[in-house]
């Protein structure tokens, strides 16, 4: 689309607007939102007809879940994925390698989530795709994306040099800046991981994909924090992609990564359209199809922008939800006792008698606080 519109730049100044990432980000956001609004209702009706009983609900969950959520269709994440995909293809620079790397993770994780959701709906049981097989696919996709993004950064930082596989391998083994992990609140210094950075990047992508998946347990609980984190990283991607802004803030500059702001704008628009149907009481669940894909998208963007540690702050809510599960399992296996009435932690508050909308809105507030803290790290260095 950009190449087509570029032919009209000389005829009208209006078409010059498409050269600006900020303009295209707004366009992607609006386009994705409209698509989600338009396809949402008919797609949900189609899911109801196909799925019948909808997503299986845990019998050991909080009281009332079986009655209020039974029959609600899942796989609503397709609404977001379609809107984000179409808007990104229309408004992003398709020659940008980071855009394709993040889209590969998003689509790949969405496909894994779909297989998992399809298995659960078909069997009407919580056991979908086996954990080992699921992680194998996730890490494979993350490996491809991590190497592709590292290669893109290496090529951009070594202009005029021959770019071959051995040169890339040598750059990683030598501990170039592209394999260093930036630390929040510390300027111009990072933790050098050498070749282990690829493993670290894979863990970030897979870990955050599953963190969002764990959080998606109440109507609207996960989608708004995803929007908040997406908007925050849209700002980060834009700043990191600008050499002047990154130099002023003392953060790593990654050439061309600012283009990811358009994709994150599409994420916010598509998520906003989905929230219309996912707000309590939800007409559809995003399912693993959506939660895995969106979490993987955010993880991939964090790797591309060299802000992996900041993702743990911006997405602090997802981290807390994941830690609550890990702590619950670890303590129970060791002592036979539970730390929480039920994990993830949002179910703990349900067991305490909190109403679902109260939990959801308060968790949104917590997500916003974490996002602001993450943004603060850009200047406090």
Residue boundaries of the structural domains of the chain: 22-309
Residue 59: pLDDT above 70?
no
Q: What is the dihedral of CA 204, 207, 211, 212, to 10 degrees?
A: 60
Residue 187 scores a pLDDT above 70: yes
Q: Taking the alpha carbons of 19, 20, 24, 25 in that order, is the dihedral positive or negative?
A: positive
| Rg of the Cα atoms in the chain | 21
Q: What's the N-to-C CA distance of the chain in angstroms? A: 39
Average pLDDT across the chain, whole number: 89
What pLDDT shows up at residue 232? 97
Query: What would the two tokens of residue 213 be?
Result: 């998946």
Distances (CA, A) of 34 to 13, 27, 268, 368: 26, 11, 12, 25
Query: Which pLDDT belongs to residue 120?
Result: 83
Q: pLDDT exceeding 70 applies to what percent of the chain?
A: 89
- pLDDT band at residue 3, thresholds of 50, 70 and 90? low
The encoded tokens of residue 242 equal 């600008």
Give the integer Cα–Cα distance in Å for 95 and 3: 10
The Cβ of residue 35 has, within 10 Å, a number of other Cβ atoms equal to 23
- Least confident window among 80-84, 323-327, 347-351, 375-379: 375-379
The least confident of 9-13, 105-109, 265-269, 291-295 is 9-13
Check whether 107 has a pLDDT greater than 60.
yes
Q: Give the integer Cα–Cα distance in Å for 161 and 12.
A: 38
Average pLDDT over every residue of 215-237: 96
């Amino acid at each position: 689309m950009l190449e087509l519109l570029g032919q009209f730049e000389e005829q009208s100044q209006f078409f010059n607007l498409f050269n600006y990432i900020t303009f295209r980000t707004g366009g992607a956001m609006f386009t994705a939102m409209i698509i989600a609004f338009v396809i949402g209702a008919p797609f949900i009706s189609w899911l109801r007809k196909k799925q019948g009983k909808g997503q299986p609900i845990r019998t050991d969950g909080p009281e009332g879940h079986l009655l209020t959520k039974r029959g609600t269709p899942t796989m609503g994440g397709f609404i977001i994925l379609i809107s984000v995909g179409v808007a990104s293809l229309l408004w992003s620079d398709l020659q940008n390698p980071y855009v394709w790397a993040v889209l590969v993770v998003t689509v790949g994780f969405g496909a894994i989530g779909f297989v998992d959701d399809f298995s659960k709906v078909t069997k009407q049981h919580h056991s979908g795709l086996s954990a080992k097989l699921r992680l194998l696919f996730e890490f494979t996709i993350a490996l491809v994306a991590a190497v592709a993004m590292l290669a893109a950064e290496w090529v951009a930082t070594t202009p005029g040099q021959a770019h071959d596989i051995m040169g890339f391998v040598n750059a990683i083994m030598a501990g170039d800046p592209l394999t260093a992990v930036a630390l929040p609140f510390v300027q111009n210094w990072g933790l050098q991981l050498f070749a282990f950075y690829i493993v670290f990047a894979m863990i970030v992508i897979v870990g955050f994909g599953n963190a969002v998946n764990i959080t998606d347990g109440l109507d609207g609980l996960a989608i708004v924090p995803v929007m908040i984190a997406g908007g925050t990283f849209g700002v980060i991607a834009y700043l990191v992609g600008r050499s002047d802004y990154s130099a002023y803030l003392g953060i790593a500059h990654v050439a061309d990564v600012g283009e990811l702001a358009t994709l994150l704008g599409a994420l916010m628009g598509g998520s906003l359209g989905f929230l219309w149907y996912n707000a309590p009481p939800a007409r559809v669940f995003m399912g693993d199809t959506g939660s895995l894909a969106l979490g993987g998208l955010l993880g991939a963007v964090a790797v591309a922008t060299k802000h992996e540690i900041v993702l743990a702050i911006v997405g602090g809510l997802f981290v807390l939800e994941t830690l609550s599960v890990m702590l619950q399992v670890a303590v129970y296996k060791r002592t036979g006792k539970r730390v929480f009435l039920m994990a993830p932690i949002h179910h703990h508050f349900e067991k305490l008698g909190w109403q679902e909308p109260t939990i959801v809105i308060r968790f949104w507030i917590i997500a916003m606080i974490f996002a602001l803290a993450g943004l603060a790290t850009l200047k406090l260095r």
